[in-house]
Structure 1
Amino acid sequence: MARIAVIGAGMGAMAAAARLAVAGHRVAVYERTETYGGAVRRFERDGFAFDTGPGLLTLPAVYRDLFVKTGKEPLEDRVELVQVDPAARHVFADGTDVSLPNASRAGVVAALDEALGGGAGERWGDFLVRARETWDRTRRPLLEEPLWPNWQVLEGKEPYPGVPYKRFLRTRRALRLHEIGDRELHDPRLAALLADCALAYGVDPGTAPASAAVLPYMEHAFGTWYVRGGVRELARAVYERCLERRVEFAFGAEVTRVLEAGGRAAGVELADGTAAEADFVVGTGPWRLGGMLPSRDLYGAGDVPAEREDRYPGRVVVCLALRGAREPGAVHRTVVHAADGEGDLDLFRHGVPPELPTVLVDRPDDPALRPGPDHESVVLTATVPAATEYDWAAPGAAAAFADRMAAAAERAVPGLRERLLWREIRTPLDTERETGAKGGAVPPPALAAPEGVLHPANATAMPGLFAAGGWSHPGGGLPHAGMSGALVAGLIVEGPEFRGSR
């Protein structure tokens, strides 16, 4: 039985802790804040409750597998999963409105044909077929396996099988996401549908590789799910599973240094000067983890570098407490697309919040989130520059941007302004405080291709030291964080020969 110290109680870290405890190891988690879950948080006031992190779950199989591998009770015995239908309503800049069924290609094609006309549904359906090929080519190396030693091959050929087209007497294929929109979808609304899906994951839709097509494909193929009571309930379930497997948690315990002995990780030192010995250490984001090892490099010269976290954007979340019941027929999620798509790109180009942002509007029909049937809990989310690029603490900055988000949301929530009781605004500064991520940035998922996104491997250059969570392979998002925990546990239990889940 090995002693294992885990830094942080995020979803990836807890997934690793539960699996390692079941394997017979003694696991202790050190969390600098007073609660678990990382970015999966909840804000409560006056009987209202709001998810301030992810609002929906994709690929629930990742957490089903976690519960199967760590105990007899399946995930559905701990939380109630509800498949959201429609998956989302989309309100485009020109006023077009379409609701897309959940996990139904035929239904999506029919809905788009009816709303957009001109064979739009067929073109989107054909795109999803090509996106599936991208998923099939990248699923194992980018989600289910430790990062390959020859990871450079993932930065080689673009895995998306773009439709050939002629340009300057040469045959070309889409290498970037915007080229798919321009050359294959032939409708600015379909292009917005594609680009804004990437934007929601914190991926620049202006420069994203064509392989980002896997992001809408995942949501289409595996559905989007709501956790009754809020996604925070999933974090609670994972935390309780850890406790049942005798994982020890220390909250308010900030790790400041990784201890080293004999050339390998030997434990952690806390801010109060106390030390905890360990045979293995599971760390948090590699960029921050490197600061706990000032005397040596965390990764070798040939590894994926641990880049600054704040090179990626963050999110503004606005929690709205509304009087009045949710109207009949309201959908769970509405995407209000920006009138000016170029504005959304300014946050990547210049670090400027968009004047007219694309806004996700979540309106869960869940009595657990409201004080009574005559009230409604609504969450607005927009992708924005990290706090190191934009001063979210400047007087009026957050409130002014929240006003613009609410103005967009009025297209999805009837009478929003008149119904508002109060609001809570959360910026990247709150994300940084809760997760420690520089500037409150949110990690994107890994994407293959020459212009893709890869995160550092879970195994580091120091023996016995591993990294889990969204800033490590395979990147951000609830399913990816859960898989990072599975990969770390496999590497510790089975050693370097571990090749991933089967």
Structure 2
Amino acid sequence: MIGAGMGAMAAAARLAVAGHRVTVYERAETYGGAVTRFERDGFAFDTGPGLLPLPAVYRDLFLKTGKQPLEEAVELVQVDPASRHVFPDGTDVLLPNASRAGTVDALNTALGSGAGDHWGDFLVRAREAWDRTRRPLLEEPLWKDWRVLGEREPYPAVPHKRLLRTRRASTLDEIAAWELRDPRLTALLDAHALAYGLDPRTTPASAAVLPYMEHAFGTWYVRGGIRELARAVYERCLARRVEFVFGTEVTGIVEKDGRAAGLELADKTVTEADHVVAGVDPVRLSGLTEHVLREDGDARPERMSPSSGRFTVLLALRGRRESGAAHRTVVHAPDRTAELDHLCRPAGSEEPARPTVTVLRPDDPALRPDDEHESVVLSAAAPVAPAGAAGWAAGDTADDRFADLLVSAAEAAVPGLRERLLWREVRTPGHSARETGAEGGAVPPPALAAADGRFLHPANTTRFPGLYLVGGWAHPGGGLPHAGMSGALVAGLIVEGQDFRGSQ
């Protein structure tokens, strides 16, 4: 197995339980892929995902791989309120966790009568899109006839009184303009796309499933940070006798009798295998084999374009976290067009616009030296550099300029932020590129239906017999739940073969 990301480890544990001997080769010195942690002076920070949607995926993993349930391996905490939103006009609203009625009431009170009702109606339609795509885009191997998923927009048509007919939105942008009709609700919808680096102007309407997932299944935090989830999955793999070899670069996939039969390592060592599972992005994978992996008619081999990364600022603050502070605050951008235009241009190509900033302030003693200090994580979608370009470089003044924009935005969420600041650590998509190997540090979004298949990821199987793809760059795409499901799908395909029809 190549890579020790969350999807690869999920597959490894399941395969080991099924009787396979599994060895994982990881170029870094630790496990988890993008689920990493930074520690300094008694402060600790999640530098990848900070919250866990749809924890049922990992509950199922622990159920299927041993007697210890997930809740005995980590402490899951439901985040309530789910989020606070600060809009450019000064409007401020707290949204409850997993409550449609509560969300409608909160939005009606904060934004004006009718606004919450528009959002509530949108969630009902988003559920239809979720019901139509949940199985094929999360729980089943990618259909051979994947074009069907690309042709059909699962988000329902909406009656239009003036036109006396229905019309079907094709993008999130059209949902916002036709159905939400409030710039603050548009910003609320945009934030769910931007969390994955997606431009709502071109993202299909089927992405309505992203806010629906959070609404339906809640927002969860892992006590000690999301890195604790990676630790738990890693330890489950060890308990099932999965072997890990860290600090080892895979340089090639060995072919024998027309199938993947092992790996070549940087020291020229060759290891044999009955199956090879690759948890790497398509660019890196293409350098490991000359074998044709896909042909016309297969799922698209490349990631979606443009692809974006995550820019993160870690703040060490003096002073006690105030009582009642929201775990997550989203400070929305003052100029939507400028933000989205900047996201679509190569990194470093122009002066950045102030982005939508997510501020995470977990009330967790494990992340701070004592109760008189606080660790805070700021994050925003950021452009990545094209192949061969410099992009985000360590110590670049562009890094500091963009970081300053995030800190300025966060002042709306953290009282007295600048006076409390001890130090900050800036992490750009360049850090992610070096740590995960993903070109430019891009972050893979979940697979989405419609848009002619442009938002689908490569299937877990390939034309190279014996080679399987796992993790965020393969079906069903990025995000912790989707990565975990990719592990379940790959394990099912290897254990049950072509008869495997998906997770139950």
TM-score by length of 2: 0.96
Q: Verify the 8 A CA contact 1:196 1:205 in the aligned structure 2.
A: no
Q: Distance in 2 between matches of 1:231 and 1:377?
A: 14
Q: Verify the 8 A CA contact 1:310 1:441 in the aligned structure 2.
A: no
Matching residue of 2:383? 385
Higher mean C-alpha displacement, 353-362 vs 146-155: 353-362
Which residue identity is paired with 2:221?
Answer: Y
Q: Residue by residue, what CA displacement relative to the aligned partner does 1:28-83 show, whole Å, maximum 9, x if unpaired?
A: 00000000000000000000000000000000000000000000000000000000
Matching residue of 2:236? 241
Which residue identity is paired with 1:257?
Answer: G
Q: Secondary structure of 2:482's match?
A: helix
Matching residue of 2:465? 463
Between the aligned residues of both structures, percent identity stands at 71
Of 285, 305, 317, which residue of structure 2 is paired with 1:322? 317
Q: Distance in 2 between matches of 1:209 and 1:280?
A: 35
CA shift for structure 1 position 497? 1.1
Distance 1:486 1:244, change over 3 A: same
Query: Where does 1:445-484 land on structure 2 (aligned, <5 Å)?
Result: 445-450=446-451, 453-484=455-486
CA shift for structure 1 position 290? 2.2
Q: Residue by residue, what CA displacement relative to the aligned partner does 1:252-280 show, whole Å, maximum 9, x if unpaired?
A: 11101000000001000001111110000
Matching residue of 1:150? 145
Q: Secondary structure of 1:110's match?
A: helix
Matching residue of 1:280? 275
Which residue identity is paired with 2:488?
Answer: A
Q: Residue by residue, what CA displacement relative to the aligned partner does 1:192-250 show, whole Å, maximum 9, x if unpaired?
A: 10012111112111111111100000000000100000000000000000000000000
Q: Distance in 2 between matches of 1:307 and 1:437?
A: 12
Q: Residue by residue, what CA displacement relative to the aligned partner does 1:338-362 show, whole Å, maximum 9, x if unpaired?
A: 0001122113433357411100000
Number of equivalenced pairs = 496
RMSD (Å) for aligned C-alpha atoms: 1.5
Matching residue of 1:3? none
Q: Verify the 8 A CA contact 1:144 1:501 in the aligned structure 2.
A: yes
Matching residue of 2:286? 290
Q: Residue by residue, what CA displacement relative to the aligned partner does 1:298-335 show, whole Å, maximum 9, x if unpaired?
A: 11221122215773100111000000010111010000
Are positions 1:374 and 2:349 aligned together? no
Q: Verify the 8 A CA contact 1:287 1:306 in the aligned structure 2.
A: no
Q: Verify the 8 A CA contact 1:165 1:173 in the aligned structure 2.
A: no
Query: Where does 1:65-214 land on structure 2 (aligned, <5 Å)?
Result: 65-165=60-160, 171-214=166-209
Q: Residue by residue, what CA displacement relative to the aligned partner does 1:109-157 show, whole Å, maximum 9, x if unpaired?
A: 1100110112111111110000000000000000000000000000112
Q: Distance in 1 between matches of 2:161 and 2:251?
A: 56
Distance 1:54 1:183, change over 3 A: same
Q: Secondary structure of 2:29's match?
A: coil
Which residue identity is paired with 2:425?
Answer: E
Matching residue of 2:4? 9
Q: Verify the 8 A CA contact 1:258 1:292 in the aligned structure 2.
A: yes
Matching residue of 2:427? 426
Are positions 1:363 and 2:348 aligned together? no
Which residue identity is paired with 1:404?
Answer: L
Which residue identity is paired with 2:381?
Answer: T
Gaps of 5+ in 2: none
CA shift for structure 1 position 8? 0.3
Distance 1:48 1:184, change over 3 A: same
Q: Distance in 1 between matches of 2:143 and 2:160?
A: 33
Which residue identity is paired with 1:374?
Answer: E
Q: Distance in 2 between matches of 1:9 and 1:167?
A: 54
Q: Verify the 8 A CA contact 1:259 1:267 in the aligned structure 2.
A: yes
Q: Distance in 2 between matches of 1:354 and 1:192?
A: 19
TM-score by length of 1: 0.96
Matching residue of 1:435? 436
Gaps of 5+ in 1: 1-5
Q: Distance in 1 between matches of 2:39 and 2:69?
A: 28
Which residue identity is paired with 2:284?
Answer: R
Matching residue of 1:397? 398
Matching residue of 1:494? 496
